[in-house]
């Protein structure tokens, strides 16, 4: 069956090559297989992708990931610098454990509303936002 990403590519007129199908599949499965803290970088994606087709180059992964980002399918994160990491765009925030690097996703309506309010007060219409919390696990 066709992944959501493939459908979105059709909508946007993005040509569907074999390589892109494989990358789309890997991205779509990311959360199911690796859990919600999965935000793979390009290298990791390339590793997973070459298990299905080992002819796919890392340049293609870079190009595809950028293409998907421009199409609004993926979002790119630059958590505390280093290499960029990707996930399917579904608008949530991240809490990063500064010890383990583990990522917890969350959404909060109140914070969302406040952000819109603040932007308006400053004379802007909010079009995007990034909220990252960095924390230490509280031991029980």
Which CB, 33 or 98, lies closer to a second copy? 98
Q: What's the CA angle centered on 117, arms 112 and 121, to 5 degrees?
A: 150
Task: Summarize as ranges the residues that interact with DNA (CB under 7 A).
Answer: 14-20, 41-43, 55-60, 62-64, 66, 82-84
In the stretch 35-74, what mask flags binding to a second copy with x, by CB under 8 A? Answer: ----------------------------------------
- Residues 106 and 66: beta-carbon distance below 8 Å: no
- Residues 86 and 21: beta-carbon distance below 8 Å: no
101-140: contacts with a second copy (CB under 8 A): 104, 106, 108, 110-111, 114-115, 118-120, 122-138
Distance of closest approach, residue 109 Cβ to a second copy, in angstroms? 10
Residues 6+ apart with CB under 8 A from 74: 27, 65, 68, 86, 87, 88, 89
Give the interface size with a second copy as a residue count (CB under 8 A): 35
């Amino acid at each position: 069956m066709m992944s959501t990403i493939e459908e979105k590519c059709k909508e946007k007129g993005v040509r569907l090559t074999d390589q892109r199908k494989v990358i789309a599949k890997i991205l779509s499965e990311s959360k199911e297989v690796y859990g919600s803290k999965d935000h793979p970088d390009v290298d990791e994606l390339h590793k997973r992708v070459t298990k299905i087709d080992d002819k796919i180059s890392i340049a293609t992964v870079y190009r595809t990931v950028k293409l998907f980002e421009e199409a609004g399918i993926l979002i790119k994160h630059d958590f505390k610098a280093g290499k960029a990491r990707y996930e399917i765009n579904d608008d949530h925030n991240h809490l990063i454990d500064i010890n383990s690097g583990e990522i917890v996703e969350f959404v909060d309506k109140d914070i969302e509303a406040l952000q819109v309010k603040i932007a308006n007060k400053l004379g802007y219409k909010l079009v995007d936002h990034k909220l990252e919390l960095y924390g230490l696990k509280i031991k029980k």
